[in-house]
């Protein structure tokens, strides 16, 4: 019987893991899922592909993976089987049977990230691994006024780690806002776009907080988009406040059109 491709949405607490991507001698989310699949298949290794990598300590409430399973089963059964083996820090939320050419990374349309910050004087002990503690007189209105300039298509070179291997820093943001959690000292940054550079969200948050702390002017993002220099932007905010919240995908027609464009470009280059 031929294998079946599954798309699975997963959530995980990134605290005990050295990131999503598998690493030698380190616990990773990918390693944990592939361990579960190895037990399910009774010894047949299965490699998974994620929509993207997350760093050590980063969480996810809507990461998406795909893999080919040698013995087809109903999607609901796949969720139950995975969760019966996975550690409690990783959960399969939903599963879908998809076409063999679906790709969790290359077929993404947009991603949404959320970053949690506690502005209170005291950091709740139960939240210390899940949101950044920033106990300063931060002006939230200043940050709200600064963020809209990020919307649209820009070169985000100032907001990318120097460790990246990327040469194209152009990305499009459709959301850049702050949400205030009622009856608490928590705020949440929300960023959505067609793609994100390495550490981009965390650098945007670190720079925003400096604007809120009056260490940078409100129009600082506009300047940083122009200078394209990582060294002039703010610090990289801690990993544990960040969540990959949602990944949306191209429709079948959009995916076919995108791949046709790739093929046309390849043939022209040949």
Q: Report the catalytic residues.
A: 55
Q: Which residues pair with 50 in a beta bridge?
A: 65
- Contacts of 157 by beta carbon, 8 Å cutoff, 6+ apart: 169, 228, 229, 230
With residue 170 as reference, give the H or E element that holds it.
strand 170-180
Cα–Cα dist 207/219, whole Å: 11
Backbone φ and ψ of 57, nearest 5°? 90, -15
Cα–Cα dist 213/200, whole Å: 20
With residue 226 as reference, give the H or E element that holds it.
helix 220-227
Cα–Cα dist 180/269, whole Å: 49
DSSP 200-223: HHHHHHHHHHHHHTTSS-TTHHHH
């Amino acid at each position: 019987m031929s294998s079946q491709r599954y798309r699975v949405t997963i959530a995980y607490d990134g605290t005990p893991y050295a990131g999503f991507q598998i690493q030698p001698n380190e616990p990773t989310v990918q390693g944990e899922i592939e361990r579960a699949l190895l037990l399910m298949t009774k010894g047949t290794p299965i490699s998974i592909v994620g929509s993207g990598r997350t760093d050590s300590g980063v969480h996810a409430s809507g990461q998406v993976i795909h893999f080919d399973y040698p013995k087809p089963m109903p999607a609901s059964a796949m969720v139950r089987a995975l969760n019966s083996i996975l550690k409690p820090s990783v959960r399969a939320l939903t599963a879908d049977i998809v076409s063999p050419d679906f790709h969790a990374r290359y077929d993404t349309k947009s991603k949404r990230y959320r970053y949690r910050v506690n502005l209170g004087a005291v950091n709740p002990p139960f939240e210390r691994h899940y949101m950044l503690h920033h106990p300063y007189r931060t002006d939230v209105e200043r940050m709200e006024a600064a963020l809209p300039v990020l919307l649209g298509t820009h070169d985000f070179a100032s907001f990318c780690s120097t460790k990246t291997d990327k040469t194209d820093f152009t990305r499009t943001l459709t959301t850049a806002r702050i949400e205030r959690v009622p009856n608490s000292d928590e705020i949440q940054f929300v960023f959505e776009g067609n793609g994100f550079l390495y550490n981009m969200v965390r650098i945007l948050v670190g720079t925003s907080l400096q604007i809120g702390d009056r260490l940078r002017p409100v129009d600082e993002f506009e300047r940083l988009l122009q200078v394209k220099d990582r060294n002039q932007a703010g610090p990289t905010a801690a990993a544990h406040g960040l969540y990959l919240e949602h990944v949306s995908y191209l429709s079948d027609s959009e995916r076919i059109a995108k791949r046709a464009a790739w093929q046309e470009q390849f043939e022209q280059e040949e």
